[in-house]
Amino acid sequence: MWQTMILQVFISMLPPLVYQLWHDRPNYDAKRGAWFTGIVCGISMVLCMLMSMHMESGYQFDIRLIPYIIGSLYGGYWSMGALTLLYTSLRIPFFNTDGEWLAFGMFLIIFCPMVLLSIQPFQLARRKDKQKIGAVLITVLQLFYGTTMLIDIILSKPKLMWEHVWILIGLIVLSYLVLWSSILIIENMREKQMLHRQLRRMSEKYRAEVQKLQQFIDETPLGVVLLDSEGRVTHLNEVAHMHFTPSTDKGAVHEMRGCTYLELIDPVRDGQSISMLQKALRGSRTSVELVETEGRVLVKTAFTMRDNEMTGPTSITGAALIMHDITELRHLRDELGRMDRLSLVGQMAASITHEIRNPMAVIRGFVQLMRERANEGQIEYFRIIMEELDRANAIINDFLSLAQNRLIDKAHSSLNDLMSEMLPLIQADANLRGIQVEWHPKPGLPALLLNDKEMKQLILNLARNGLEAMKEGTGVLLLSTDLLPGAVVLRVQDTGIGISKEQMAKLFEPFFTTKSRGTGLGLPVCLSIVERHNGRIDVESEEGNGTTFVVTFRLEEGEAEAAVAAEEYKRIG
271 with 171, same domain: the answer is no
87 with 150, same domain: the answer is yes
Contact 467, 432 (CB under 8 A): no
How far apart, in Å, do the first and last CA atoms of the chain sit? 111
- Residue 387 pLDDT grade (very low, low, confident, very high; cuts 50, 70, 90): confident
- 25 within some domain: yes
Instruction: Using the 3D structure, point to which of 403, 429, 451 is the last residue of a domain.
Output: 403
452 with 531, same domain: the answer is yes
Higher confidence at residue 209 or residue 2?
209
Task: Report pTM.
Answer: 0.42
pLDDT at 163: 61
Strands (DSSP E) along 361-500, which ranges? Answer: 411-413, 436-440, 448-450, 476-484, 487-493
pLDDT at 262: 82
Distance in angstroms (rounded) separating the CA atoms of residues 437 and 464: 12
283 with 189, same domain: the answer is no
Structure confidence by residue, pLDDT tens digits, 124-156? 888 888 888 888 888 887 777 667 666 666 665
- Residue 478 pLDDT grade (very low, low, confident, very high; cuts 50, 70, 90): very high
- 441 within some domain: yes
Instruction: Using the 3D structure, point to which of 325, 343, 369 is the last residue of a domain.
Output: 325
- 211 within some domain: no
- Residue 347 pLDDT grade (very low, low, confident, very high; cuts 50, 70, 90): low
Residue range of the domain that includes 533: 411-572
Across the range 162-180, mean pLDDT stands at 73
Across the range 280-286, mean pLDDT stands at 80
pLDDT at 55: 47
Across the range 35-54, mean pLDDT stands at 74
pLDDT at 492: 92
* Residue 31 in this model has a pLDDT that exceeds 70: no
* Residue 563 in this model has a pLDDT that exceeds 60: no
- Residue 562 pLDDT grade (very low, low, confident, very high; cuts 50, 70, 90): very low
* Residue 539 in this model has a pLDDT that exceeds 80: yes
**CB proximity list for 572: less than 8 A, separation 6 or greater:** none
Higher confidence at residue 506 or residue 200?
200
Side-by-side strand order, sheet with 296-306: 233-236, 223-228, 316-325, 296-306, 287-293
**CB proximity list for 271: less than 8 A, separation 6 or greater:** none
pLDDT at 4: 66
Structure confidence by residue, pLDDT tens digits, 77-86? 888 888 888 8
Most distant pair of Cα atoms in the chain: their distance = 169
156 with 175, same domain: the answer is yes
- Residue 193 pLDDT grade (very low, low, confident, very high; cuts 50, 70, 90): confident
User: In percent, how much of the chain has pLDDT > 90?
Assistant: 3
- Residue 56 pLDDT grade (very low, low, confident, very high; cuts 50, 70, 90): very low
- Residue 303 pLDDT grade (very low, low, confident, very high; cuts 50, 70, 90): confident
Highest mean pLDDT among 245-249, 298-302, 359-363, 365-369: 298-302
Distance in angstroms (rounded) separating the CA atoms of residues 220 and 240: 11
pLDDT at 480: 92
260 with 399, same domain: the answer is no
Distance in angstroms (rounded) separating the CA atoms of residues 374 and 429: 31
Q: Residue 305 forms beta bridges with which residues? A: 318
Across the range 25-52, mean pLDDT stands at 71
pLDDT at 568: 53
Alpha-carbon dihedral angle through residues 173, 174, 179, 180, given to the nearest 10 degrees = 60
Distance in angstroms (rounded) separating the CA atoms of residues 412 and 529: 16
Contact 182, 70 (CB under 8 A): yes
318 with 387, same domain: the answer is no
464 with 374, same domain: the answer is no
Distance in angstroms (rounded) separating the CA atoms of residues 510 and 339: 13
Distance in angstroms (rounded) separating the CA atoms of residues 508 and 151: 118
pLDDT at 551: 92
Contact 170, 178 (CB under 8 A): no
373 with 418, same domain: the answer is no
Neighbours of 76 (CB within 10 A): 18
- Residue 490 pLDDT grade (very low, low, confident, very high; cuts 50, 70, 90): very high
- Residue 57 pLDDT grade (very low, low, confident, very high; cuts 50, 70, 90): very low
Distance in angstroms (rounded) separating the CA atoms of residues 522 and 395: 9
pLDDT at 250: 53
117 with 177, same domain: the answer is yes
Highest mean pLDDT among 55-59, 106-110, 504-508: 106-110
pLDDT at 199: 84
Least confident segment among 168-182, 220-234, 392-406: 392-406
pLDDT at 58: 46
- 484 within some domain: yes
Instruction: Using the 3D structure, point to which of 290, 325, 360 is the last residue of a domain.
Output: 325
* Residue 305 in this model has a pLDDT that exceeds 80: yes
Distance in angstroms (rounded) separating the CA atoms of residues 43 and 31: 19
Structure confidence by residue, pLDDT tens digits, 358-386? 777 777 787 777 877 777 777 777 777 77
Across the range 461-465, mean pLDDT stands at 87
120 with 237, same domain: the answer is no
Higher confidence at residue 57 or residue 235?
235
Pairing assessment for the beta strands 296-306 and 316-325 based on DSSP bridges? antiparallel
- 363 within some domain: yes
Q: Which run of H or E residues covers position 6?
A: helix 2-12
What is the rounded average pLDDT for all residues in the chain?
Answer: 76
393 with 441, same domain: the answer is no
Give me the number of domains the chain comprises: 4
Least confident segment among 232-246, 249-263, 272-286: 249-263
Distance in angstroms (rounded) separating the CA atoms of residues 468 and 238: 54
* Residue 247 in this model has a pLDDT that exceeds 80: no
